[in-house]
Structure 1
Amino acid sequence: MDPSEPTLLAEQFGPLQGVRILSTGTIVAEPFAAVMAAEMGAEVIHIERPGKGEDWRVAEFPIQAPSGDLVASSWLQDHRNMYHTTLDFSTAEGRDIFLKLVERADIWMESSKARTYDKWGLDDATVLAANPSIVICHISGYGQDGDPEYVGRASYDFTAQAFGGMMNLMGNPEPDPPTRAVPWTADYITGLFCMWSSLAAYIHAQRTGEGQVIDLAQFEAVHRILSGTMVAYNELGMVRERAGNKAGNAQPWDTFQASDGWVVIAAVGPAVYARVCRVLDLDPDDEKWVKARREVNSPEGIEFDAVLRGWVEDRTVDEVVRIFNEAQVGCSRIMNAREMAENPHYRAREVHLEWEDQQLGKTVKGVGIVPKLSGTPGKIWRGSVPVGHDNHLVYGDLLGISPDTLHELAERGVI
C-alpha cells in the first residue's frame, strides 16, 4: 500500500509489513493463505457475512468460550493476526464499501464458485478499474473457465483430492477403498499456491504498477503435486495406482510395528540400504540381499521385509528409532499430538507457542510461526476475535465512515 496510507497495525514487523490484503474466502484454503501473510506482518482484513459469520467458526473440535459460544480449534489456529469485519456484498452499500477497501489494498484473495462476485457488480474489470495495481486471486474448485459442465460445480477438500488425482494414490491397493489425506490437505495445498502466486504477482505489480488476476483451481493445485504421475502416463502408458506406504520400487520404505507403537523406516539408495542390512546382521554384498532391495515382490524381497519386520517387532519404538538413526538410516516414531507436544526437539525449536485469544478470553497454545526468518521474523500479536469485531476500526478509522452511518448500516444488515 502507499507509504502515506495510514496503517491499522500498531507495530510493523515481518517481511510483509506494508502489504494490505483483503480476504473474503471461507473454510480453510483462502483463510490459510491470509493468516500466513498476517503472521509475516501483512495487514489482513478478513470479511465475513453479517450476523453469525462463517460456519467454520464452530465446525471442528469446538471449545466453549465464557460467553457460551463455541469456537473451533482450527479457527483459533488459522485466524490469528487478522482484522475481522462483516459485509453484505449483495447490497449497493456493501459493494461501494468493498471498492473503497480495494482502492487501499494490494491483494484481494477470495474463494467461491467461478464468477460469484460478478453478480454483485464486483467483476475483475470493475475491481481493477478501482485499483489498477491490485492483485486478485480467485480460488475455485474447477477454475474460472473450462468445460461448462465443471466450472459451476461445488468443490471442497474431499472433491478436489478426488478430481485432482491424489485420492487415487492414497491408501492400500484394491479392494481397499481410496482414502483422503488429512487434515484438509487439498485445502492447505491450495492455500500455499494462493499465497506464493499472489506474492509473485504483487512483486510484478511493485515493479510495473500493473495488477492482474490469478485463476487458481483447487484441483489443479492438487494435481500439480502428483510428481511424475502424468509424465509416466503420457510417456510410458503407466497408470499409477495405490500401493499403501510402500515405495514399490525399492525397500525399506514403509511403516513398521514395534512392540509398543509404529515407526517409519526410509532407506534411499544402496548405501543407506547397506546400513539397514548391517543393523540386521545381513551381508549387503550378498547377491540375495542386493536383489531384495529393488525387487521388493521377489522371494528375496519378501524375505528381507519379513526379517526387518521381525527385528522391529522385538523392540520398542525408542530402541528402533535410536538404533537406525545411529546407523544414519531415516527412521521416526509416528507421532500423535501428545508426543509432539512433549517432544524435546519440538520444544527446543519452540514449534508450539502461546498467545492470547480474545474469544476464549485466555491463553491458548498451538503451532507457532513457520518458517523462522533470521532478519524479519513473523510474530503472533493477537488471537481470533468475534464476528465483526473490527468493523468500526476498519470502516470508521480507515475509510472514514461516521459512527452514526455504521450503526445504521449494522441495523440494516449491511455490515
Structure 2
Amino acid sequence: MGALADLRVLDLTQVLAGPYCTMLLADMGADVVKIERPGGDLIRSNPPYAEDPESEAYGGYFQSVNRGKRSLELDLRTDEDRDAFRSLVERADVVVENFKMGTMEQFDCGYETLREHNPQLIYSSIRGFGDPRTGETERQGQPSFDLIAQALGGVMEITGQEDGPPTKVGPGVGDLFTAALNAVGILAAVHHRERTGEGQYVDTAMYDAMISLCERTVYQYSCDGDSPTRRGNSHPTLFPYDAFETADGYAVVAAFSDGHWQTLCEAMERPELAADYPDAASRLANRDHLRGEIADWTRQHETDAVVDLLDGRVPAAPIQTTADIFEDPHVHARDMLADVSQPGVDAEMTVAGSPIKMTETMPEPRGRAPRLDEHRAELLEDQQSGGDPRPAESDD
C-alpha cells in the first residue's frame, strides 16, 4: 500500500504535463482513474513500440506517464456520460484537468458545479497561463506547449552556447516541472482539507513554473539590471563549473570551492594555479585563462581517467548517454528503471522509475498503463451498486 492509497484521483488530462502529475500520485499509491475522451488520449498511438505497432495497445510515450492508472472512456458532451462522471466525483478526492480554459464549464462540469456534488473536492488545473480564479491575464485561453513555456519563461534565453541561438532544454521541463509543482499543490490542498474539511482549487501555469525554474535570473536581474543570457555549460558566478572535452568525450567538473580547487590543481600537477588563484574572486576574474588550462589537461586524458584522477574528491562525472545510464549500477540499485508489461505482445517496456524514495511506503510504478476503457465495468458497475470502486488486483 502506497502513502496515498486512500486517495482517489479523477484524471481528465492528456499528453504530458497532466499525466505526469497524476503518474507521480499513482506511483505513491493513489487510485488514479484516467477519464479519456472518445478515442482516448492523443498520445496513445505515439511511438516507439516494444515490438509490433499493429498489435500493441499503445506506445512508449503513453506507457511511461500513464502506468498504474485505470481507464474509463467518457464523452462529457452526452448527458449519460456526464452523469456518470459526476457520480464518480461524489466519491473522489481530486479532479485534475489540463483543458483549455472554459472547457469544463462548457460540459457543465466546472469547479463550482462539481463542488456542489462534493464540497470537499480538490480541483486542479494545469494550463499554459493559469486560470482566472487565481489571477486573470490576457494570455489565458491561448494555447501553450513546452516550447512556448520555455521561450516565455526565460529558459531558452539562458540555454545554449554563448555564440549560439536560444536553445530548448532537452526534456520537456515546461510540462514536467509544472506537473511536479502541481502535484505538490494537490498534496498541500489534501493536507489543508484534513485539517479544515475544506476543498479548494489548485492552479499551476506553465509560464509561471518556468519563471520559478529560472529563479536565478530573477534575482540576478534585480541586483544588477542586466538580463542573464547564454553561457554554454558554465555558471555566471561559480568557476570552474563547466564541461570539458576529454580524449574520448566530455566530463563535467565542479570545483568552485577553495578546497575543491586546490584538489583539482593537485590532480593536474599544477600547484602554482592553486597559489596564484586562491579564492573565488580571483578565479572568476581569470576564468577564460583558467578554463583553457583545465581544458588542456582534460584533453590529455580519457573521460574515465579524468574522473578517476579526481577520485570522488572533486565533483566530476562523465556525460552519459542513455545507454550508459542503463548500465550504471547506481541506477539499478536505486530502482530507477522499471519494467512493465506491454499489452498486445509478449514483451516488456522499460520506463523511468520513481525518484521519490520512502522507507515505509516506497513509491513505484504500479503496473502497466491501461487499455482504453479497460476498467469501465469495475468503475461504473460498482458505482451503481454503491460499492467502493477501488482497483482489483491486476494479473499483469
Q: What's the TM-score once normalised by structure 1's chain length? A: 0.87
- Report the counterpart of residue 390 of structure 2 in structure 1: none
Q: Does 1:250 align with 2:244?
A: no
- Report the counterpart of residue 162 of structure 1 in structure 2: 151
- Report the counterpart of residue 305 of structure 1 in structure 2: 291
Contact 1:138/1:214, CA 8 A, preserved across alignment: yes
The amino acid that maps onto 1:240 is P
- Report the counterpart of residue 115 of structure 2 in structure 1: 128
The amino acid that maps onto 1:205 is R
Q: CA deviation at 1:288?
A: 3.2
Q: How do residues 352-391 of structure 1 correspond to structure 2 at under 5 angstroms?
A: 352-391=337-376
Q: Does 1:74 align with 2:86?
A: no
1:228 counterpart SS class? helix
Contact 1:187/1:218, CA 8 A, preserved across alignment: yes
Contact 1:346/1:352, CA 8 A, preserved across alignment: yes
| Cα distance between partner residues in 2 of 1:390 and 1:284 | 69
Residues 134, 333 of structure 1: alpha-carbon distance in 2 compared, 3 angstrom cutoff: same
- Report the counterpart of residue 404 of structure 1 in structure 2: none
Q: CA deviation at 1:260?
A: 1.3
Contact 2:4/2:29, CA 8 A, preserved across alignment: yes
The amino acid that maps onto 1:102 is V
Which of 257, 261, 264 is the matching residue for 1:273? 261
Which of 22, 25, 34 is the matching residue for 2:13? 25
2:351 counterpart SS class? strand
Q: CA deviation at 1:168?
A: 1.2
The amino acid that maps onto 2:140 is V
Q: CA deviation at 1:48?
A: 1.1
- Report the counterpart of residue 8 of structure 1 in structure 2: none
Q: How do residues 397-408 of structure 1 correspond to structure 2 at under 5 angstroms?
A: 397-400=382-385
Q: Does 1:49 align with 2:34?
A: no
| Cα distance between partner residues in 2 of 1:359 and 1:181 | 34
Residues 388, 208 of structure 1: alpha-carbon distance in 2 compared, 3 angstrom cutoff: same
Residues 89, 242 of structure 1: alpha-carbon distance in 2 compared, 3 angstrom cutoff: same
Q: CA deviation at 1:283?
A: 2.5
The amino acid that maps onto 1:100 is S
Q: CA deviation at 1:363?
A: 2.5
The amino acid that maps onto 2:104 is Y
Which of 139, 142, 152 is the matching residue for 1:150? 139
Which of 319, 324, 330 is the matching residue for 1:339? 324
1:179 counterpart SS class? coil
**Which deviates further from its counterpart, 349-358 or 301-310?**
349-358
Q: How high is the sequence identity, in percent, across the aligned residues?
A: 27
Q: Does 1:139 align with 2:159?
A: no
Q: CA deviation at 1:20?
A: 0.3
| Cα distance between partner residues in 2 of 1:261 and 1:367 | 25
| Cα distance between partner residues in 1 of 2:236 and 2:53 | 52
| Cα distance between partner residues in 2 of 1:75 and 1:261 | 33
Q: CA deviation at 1:148?
A: 5.2
- Indicate the RMSD between aligned Cα atoms, in angstroms: 2.1
Q: CA deviation at 1:116?
A: 1.6
1:224-279 per-residue CA deviation (whole Å, 9 max, x = no partner) reads: 12123223323432211111111133321111111111111111322211111111
Q: Does 1:199 align with 2:187?
A: yes
Q: Which runs of 5+ in 2 are unaligned?
A: 387-396
**Which deviates further from its counterpart, 182-191 or 279-288?**
279-288
| Cα distance between partner residues in 1 of 2:355 and 2:238 | 33
The amino acid that maps onto 2:230 is R
Contact 1:57/1:71, CA 8 A, preserved across alignment: yes
- Report the counterpart of residue 48 of structure 2 in structure 1: 61
The amino acid that maps onto 1:394 is L
- Report the counterpart of residue 85 of structure 2 in structure 1: 98
Contact 2:265/2:273, CA 8 A, preserved across alignment: no
1:271-305 per-residue CA deviation (whole Å, 9 max, x = no partner) reads: 211111111122267663337x545675x433321
Q: CA deviation at 1:114?
A: 1.6
1:157-205 per-residue CA deviation (whole Å, 9 max, x = no partner) reads: 111111122111111224x111111221111101101111001001111
Contact 2:310/2:316, CA 8 A, preserved across alignment: yes
Residues 388, 286 of structure 1: alpha-carbon distance in 2 compared, 3 angstrom cutoff: closer
| Cα distance between partner residues in 2 of 1:168 and 1:66 | 38
Q: Which runs of 5+ in 1 are unaligned?
A: 1-12, 402-415
Size of the aligned set, in residue pairs, is 384
2:5 counterpart SS class? coil
Q: Does 1:289 align with 2:277?
A: yes
Q: What's the TM-score once normalised by structure 2's chain length? A: 0.91
Contact 1:249/1:296, CA 8 A, preserved across alignment: no
The amino acid that maps onto 1:309 is A
Residues 129, 107 of structure 1: alpha-carbon distance in 2 compared, 3 angstrom cutoff: same
1:265 counterpart SS class? strand
